[in-house]
Amino acid sequence: MADQKRQGAAASAIWGGRFEQGPSEIMERINASIGFDKRLYAQDIAASKAHCEMLVRQNIIGEQDGKSIIEGLDKVRAEIEDGQFEFKTALEDIHMNVEGRLAEMIGDAAGRLHTARSRNDQVATDFKLWVRDAIDELEAGLKQLQTALIAKAEEHAGTIMPGYTHLQTAQPVTLGHHLLAYVEMLGRDRGRLADCRTRLNENPLGSGALAGTSFPIDRQQTAATLGFDRPTANSLDAVSDRDFAIEFLSACAITATHLSRFAEEIVVWSSESFGFIKLSDSFSTGSSMLPQKRNPDAAELVRAKTGRVFGALIGLLTVMKGLPLAYSKDMQEDKEPVFEVADIMGLSVAAMAGMVTDMKVDTTRMRTAAMGGGSNAVDLADWLVRTLGMPFRQAHHVTGAAVKLAEQKGCRLEELSLSDLQSVHADITADALACLTLDASVASRTSFGGTAPENVKHACDEAKRRFL
């Protein structure tokens, strides 16, 4: 037991005179977060500088001490960014590592920095600042992906492909229309991130451990300095809130779902059976055994990483679900999943943008595939309604009989002769045949949000206006 316990100068520096001995080696390992929360260094130093400036302005600490603290913090940041900083596990986290190094640089004045704050409001502030930055970076990445999708949609506004339901050919659509569907999804994703950013943009700093402080601090000043809209209204809530992290993970989970759906389509489209697209060597891999293989691994990995995003969200929800107010050490488990998800999303979005820009479309294969499966059947039904005034349910039945006849003859619906169609319903005329071509079918879908090429061109312009 003796070798597991140590007299801890570092521990007393953090916890004061309450403890006589330092933590055991096991306790130190389970308690320390510096291995991952060092990513908060820039936010921690920015918040500390804002806090120091406020303390000086409120005459809580002297100007000279404040000047020494600010200059010291700048030097600490420079050391970290230059790779010269020694992160110490004994100091537990980024907050105490920064403060400890600051004390080595400027002496006792460093101890004044922690006046009127706690690590509880400090970490909440740092983490919010980090998540806010992560949102901005991810939002910019999603915008770039939308840009790539819109450009490809413009290029293929008139490229006909099969549209599916249940992965069965349903109706012909254009590739541009299909790609713009993902532009809409990503637009909602960006909206959710923007909403999350708005809600999190309240400053916890000044809430103390849980009850506020007796010092005459100016929380409006620190909020403004750090770019927050306002201070948090309740000190208990401020230090125990991780809604912003959960909401960020939730928004990322929905975004990852959209990326995964598109990744799945890329995998399917690039398969030999479909052959709709081809990815270059930049976003493909080979096989160690099969020399002919070109695998869409980038898309597959984007699809797979979605599970880790989902897991992070469920993990943090589980951590938070049973915690009484205010802060509990359980909340130290909030950062790793958020850091991991931010990394995953940044990489996945960039990979998807690269694949969209890179992929080559086989327009002939797409068009040929769109001819199958009776994709123009509804066009005949619509003609029966529009020209003969037939109720749609009856038109549906008549068209179904025509499709069955084509199957029996081993041909496509549009390959039936006029006499064949008239054997199904005597009033069908030659005009019906004209509406059964792929081009006519797609061009007729002119309703708002429809797949007609002219619609797609206009939708691309609107998408640029709305999203870019």
Tokens of 169: 């050919």
Q: Are 13 and 100 in contact (CB under 8 A)?
A: yes
Q: Are 87 and 38 in contact (CB under 8 A)?
A: yes
Instruction: Dihedral sign for Cα 360, 363, 364, 365, please.
Output: positive
The span from the CA of 255 to the CA of 267, in Å, is 18
Is 166 catalytic? The answer is yes
Q: Cβ-count burial of 259 within 10 angstroms (0-12 exposed, 13-18 middle, 19+ buried)?
A: buried
Tell me which of 287, 328, 417, 458 is the catalytic residue: 287
Is 287 catalytic? The answer is yes
Whats the size of the chain, residue-wise? Answer: 468
DSSP 285: B
Q: Are 370 and 178 in contact (CB under 8 A)?
A: no
| Side chain identity at residue 354, one-letter code | G
DSSP 208: T
Tell me which of 166, 273, 288, 419 is the catalytic residue: 166
User: Taking each helix axis from N to C terminus, what angle separates 119-155 and 453-467, rounded to the nearest 10 degrees?
Assistant: 150
What pairing do the DSSP bridges indicate for beta strands 277-278 and 230-231? Answer: unpaired
Tokens of 157: 């506004």
The span from the CA of 420 to the CA of 404, in Å, is 11
| Measured distance between the N- and C-terminal CA atoms of the chain, rounded to whole angstroms | 63
Residue 361 has φ and ψ, to the nearest 5°, of -100, 130
50-53 contacts, C-beta under 8 A, 24 or more apart: 50/205, 50/221, 50/222, 50/225, 50/226, 51/113, 51/116, 51/117, 51/205, 51/222, 52/113, 53/221, 53/225
Q: Which positions are annotated as active-site residues?
A: 166, 287
